[in-house]
Chains A and B, each alone.
Chain A
Amino acid sequence: MTGVHLRNLGIRYGQVEVLKGIDLDIPASEFIVLLGPSGCGKSTLLNAIAGLQDVAEGQILIGGHDMTNVEPKNRGIAMVFQSYALYPRMSVRGNLSFGLKVAKIAKPEIEKRVANVAKMLQIEPLLDRKPAELSGGQRQRVAIGRAVVRDAGVFLFDEPLSNLDAQLRSDLRVEIKRLHQRLKSTMVYVTHDQIEAMTLADRIVVMKDRIIQQQGPPDEIYNRPANTFVARFVGSPAMNFLDGAIGGGHAIIDRQAIPIAAAISAPLSDSRPVIVGIRPEDMTIHTDDSGSGLAVEIDVVEPMGPEKLVWCKQGDIGLSVKAPSSISVMPGDRVRLRLAEEKLHIFDKETGKRI
């Protein structure tokens, strides 16, 4: 089993620093997802691990060996790309076996591996077709097959599902997860899709502006985001943010005191300006006039089937709330939102960091 370790990795394009001081430990067999918006450096980092990107400083260890300046083919890695990158004029069988032939692996061994992989990924009926005759989902299956057949210790995925439609994307997501459970290889997966990250990862690394913002298991990323960026980026719809201040163990928002659970408010000093974050599912809508909660006006109601997504206005701030589908509210209604006090996220107003 092969772990990947990055030590103080820095990458430059000419004078421009693309990545700086990246330290990352990926234990063997872990499924790690690099998550971030486009331009955050996540693909560059993946390419550096693959050896497709020159490294200005630092070290890349794969399976305990220094691979910083080793050719990609000798790193013991396999890679799957967004655009599939299949060899266009070769059959599926040709695509799976070409790299192995070049590596001078014995023919019976190649045939055995191709047959195994084709069976595993259910692409046996496609073996004699050309990529042009396959659908997007089939092409990506073949591309995954081409990676698996290399028998590598580390798999690198560069946004493999981004070119597929929603249904196929969720099918292949499950497929990739199953693959990981079966092969137990180390997998490094780059995406900008937080759902892929949440569903696949053992550990998520959130990146922005060339640095790692937070790393941890999906539930930790979701429940304890380290800053407002992570909080906004993970979760759909995004977390709601309200400006406020602290007063007597409460968050004062728009002159209303919102109670905060003691565990969260303990480190907070009075009258400190903060950003209060709350996820859409952690608020409830109340139409009675008991007076407690945040006064808002209903803006738009989106029925989603099992639930309704209710968009409210609090001044010029929009808030999204997930409500049971049984709720009956109309645009223009004035209601009160109660915020689950143990689910509040308090961020520093200046730095955006979690307090």
Chain B
Amino acid sequence: MFVRSPSSSRLQATLTLVPVAFVVLSVYVGGVLWAAGISFTRSSMLPNYRFAGLTQYINLFANARWQVSLGNMVLFASIFIPVTLLIGYSMAAMINRGVRGENALRTIYLYPFAMSFIVTGLVWRWLLDPNFGIADVARKLGFENASFDWIVNADMAIFTIIIAAVWHSAGLVMVVLLAGLRGVDDDLWKAIRIEGIPAWKAHLYIIVPSIGTSIATALVLMSLTVVRLFDVVVAMTGGGPGIATDVPAKFIIDHMFERQQVGLASAAATTLLLLVLAVAVPLLILKNHRKGGAR
């Protein structure tokens, strides 16, 4: 019999991974580096390589539309992440207690996530339309003065996007956290009951800390949603009214492909990347630390 030596199986593994590694290095890493490089040039419609120092970055941060975009992203993240986490956790905790019709509920909760963000955006645009949506239904039911115009109100439109995004993502967060809750030892719940620890204290001080890995995963997923926030905005408000709901990803796409300011778009993209790394790296370190440290 031919016995495979460890070194030959390692060679095989290496060879198998080469195409993927090539794609990752050339397309992703290469693309990122190229864009970062372009952000230091005068590129406008087409890339060129005339060095411009930090000009594009200075222009970027002086740009009112970018400021609004960045502000919107921060506002979005600071509401979307905690609210989604709270709703997702509550749903997971409820299902984990063994309610009737668990499978049906799980499907219903996860269902929004099966929809693309574009569809989600369109659905919510119609639902929140001041003339034809829920407000209209309410009026027809007899609430004559019902009006809900957030989606066309420059100050409130961003919150309608948050509502749609929470609706879309809460189910996914629930699934991730439910997997974590399922891993919690039954005996731990029994110990909590014996000691008479109230539910909220048990969740806050005992259960949540023991599913740290799942929570970190959910946080990473939600952070990604924040950063790539684009399609739901396009579908719901198109960034409007005016630029009231503009977000960085939309800013980048618009400047890259429509406004023909490749250098500015690249500077924005690079800034966004740095922001992502600033958030994601500590989370990933925390997650790996927990995995290695516990048990």
Segment at the B interface, from A97-105, A175-183, A241-249? A97-105
Q: Cβ of A87: which chain B residues have Cβ within 8 Å of it?
A: 188, 191, 205-206, 210
- Do A50 and B190 contact each other (CB < 8 Å), given the known contacts A88-B210, A132-B293? yes
The 0/1 profile, CB within 8 Å of A marked 1, for residues 200-219 of chain B is 01000110011010000000
Which interface class (under 10, 10 to 19, 20 to 34, 35 or more) fits B? Answer: 20 to 34
Question: How far, in Å, is A38 (CB) from chain B's closest CB?
Answer: 15
- Do A72 and B206 contact each other (CB < 8 Å), given the known contacts A83-B187, A88-B294, A132-B294? no
- Do A88 and B209 contact each other (CB < 8 Å), given the known contacts A103-B196, A132-B295? yes
Q: Cβ of A102: which chain B residues have Cβ within 8 Å of it?
A: 195-198, 201
Contact of B194 among A78, A88, A90, A132 (CB under 8 A): A78
Contact of B185 among A71, A72, A85 (CB under 8 A): A85
B195 x A150 contact (CB < 8 A)? yes
Q: Cβ of B188: which chain A residues have Cβ within 8 Å of it?
A: 83, 85, 87
A74 x B197 contact (CB < 8 A)? no
Q: How far is the CA of A88 from the CA of B198 in the complex (A)?
A: 17
> Is A79 interfacial (CB 8 A cutoff)?
yes
> Is B228 interfacial (CB 8 A cutoff)?
no
B210 x A52 contact (CB < 8 A)? no
B206 x A79 contact (CB < 8 A)? no
Residues of B204-259 contacting chain A, CB below 8 A: 205-206, 209-210, 212
Q: Cβ of A71: which chain B residues have Cβ within 8 Å of it?
A: 193, 196
The 0/1 profile, CB within 8 Å of A marked 1, for residues 165-207 of chain B is 0000000000000000000010110110111111001000110
Tell me the dominant secondary structure on chain B's binding face.
Answer: helix
> Is A311 interfacial (CB 8 A cutoff)?
no
Question: How far, in Å, is A129 (CB) from chain B's closest CB?
Answer: 13
B210 x A81 contact (CB < 8 A)? no
Q: Cβ of B205: which chain A residues have Cβ within 8 Å of it?
A: 87, 89-90, 98
> Is A77 interfacial (CB 8 A cutoff)?
yes
> Is A91 interfacial (CB 8 A cutoff)?
no
Q: Cβ of A284: which chain B residues have Cβ within 8 Å of it?
A: none
Q: How far is the CA of A73 from the CA of B212 in the complex (A)?
A: 27
Q: How far is the CA of A83 from the CA of B191 in the complex (A)?
A: 11
A82 x B187 contact (CB < 8 A)? yes
Q: Cβ of B294: which chain A residues have Cβ within 8 Å of it?
A: 88, 132
- Do A77 and B198 contact each other (CB < 8 Å), given the known contacts A89-B209, A98-B205? no
- Do A79 and B190 contact each other (CB < 8 Å), given the known contacts A88-B209, A88-B294, A102-B197? yes
Question: How far, in Å, is B169 (CB) from chain A's closest CB?
Answer: 26
Q: How far is the CA of A51 from the CA of B191 in the complex (A)?
A: 12
Contact of A73 among B185, B193, B295 (CB under 8 A): B193
Residues of B238-290 contacting chain A, CB below 8 A: none
Question: How far, in Å, is A77 (CB) from chain B's closest CB?
Answer: 7
Listed by A's residue number, 11 A-B pairs whose Cβ atoms lie within 8 Å are: A50-B190, A72-B194, A74-B196, A78-B194, A81-B190, A85-B190, A87-B210, A89-B205, A102-B196, A102-B197, A132-B294
- Which A residues are closer than 8 A to B by beta carbons? 47, 50-52, 71-74, 77-79, 81-85, 87-90, 98-99, 102-103, 132, 146, 150, 158
- Which B residues are closer than 8 A to A by beta carbons? 185, 187-188, 190-191, 193-198, 201, 205-206, 209-210, 212, 293-295
7 other contacts beyond A78-B194, A99-B196, with CB at 8 A cut-off? Answer: A72-B196, A83-B187, A83-B188, A85-B187, A98-B195, A146-B191, A150-B195
